[in-house]
Amino acid sequence: MMISSILKSTAVLGLAAVGLGVAVPTVAHADGGSYTTDAGVTFTPSTDTTSPVDPDNVDPSNPTTPVGPDGNEDGGKGTEGPLSIDYVSSFDFGKQKISSADQTYYAKAQSYKDGSPADTALFAQVTDNRGTGAGWTLTVQQDKQLNNGSSDLKGAQISMADLNAATQKDSEAGAALAGQNITLVPGEGAQTVMSAAKDAGQGTWVTRMGDTANLASETGTANDGSDRTVDKSVSLFVPGTSNKIADAKYSTNLTWTLTDTPANSAN
């Protein structure tokens, strides 16, 4: 009976305290404060060589190994420096029958070691890692007519059509622009292949000569007599009236030049 009375008295006192608004103590949690630090990065122009990429999926972190007309690896021959020509496809017009009629022949498509990726359009690749956004221009010229060592292939003309520029996905760089259709004239001035205005063209860019829709299969026109895939956007016109010597290879050099002249200042 005494214990019951004490419990009841305690309960009544507790209720009374609540009713009177008596404060109930709480436990304080201390605030440790805040602290600020810095994070930053500084970039410098890169002189590293940029390897050739897949022109249909431009990704410098996933390089390719192009194969030249002779079937050997053709990568790693680019120019040095933060503004560089990384790669340009060679033009191989195959082994063709002599004809007294005008003919147009097509260049072998770009192929790769072990067939990865599959054949693509021929292309030229440029990288601008200067970090200045100064712009640039890529040109090409043919100094001399195709020649077999003793005579020219008179009237022959090399042409490039359907040029289109591309860079890596989601690039924030201003767009570089492909040139117009090109017909080379031996001994005359250079023609624009691709260019970037001021504040454009940063990173790695390719100008493709056509695309997969321009590729076609030819029977027996490879230098060893086998079939081959050609890029119909790169062609060689040969007049029927030109004199052709059997089993003599006619060849020339094309000079590709990259300058730091921005597109809006190029001639």
- Tell me: the pLDDT tens digits for 211-230? 999 999 999 999 999 999 99
Share of the chain above pLDDT 90, in %: 82
Domain locations along the chain: 66-265
Decide if pLDDT at 21 tops 90: no
Cis peptide before 117 (omega within 30 of 0): yes
The pLDDT of residue 96 = 97
Helix (H, G, I), strand (E, B) or coil at 115: helix
- Tell me: the pLDDT tens digits for 57-73? 999 999 999 999 888 99
Mean pLDDT, to the nearest integer, of 113-118? 95
pTM (predicted TM-score): 0.86
Dist CA 204 CA 171 (whole Å): 10
**Tokens matching residue 249:** 């290879």
89 forms beta bridges with none
Longest dimension (CA), the chain: 134
Mean pLDDT, to the nearest integer, of 159-181? 97
Decide if pLDDT at 27 tops 80: no
The pLDDT of residue 122 = 98
Helix (H, G, I), strand (E, B) or coil at 241: coil
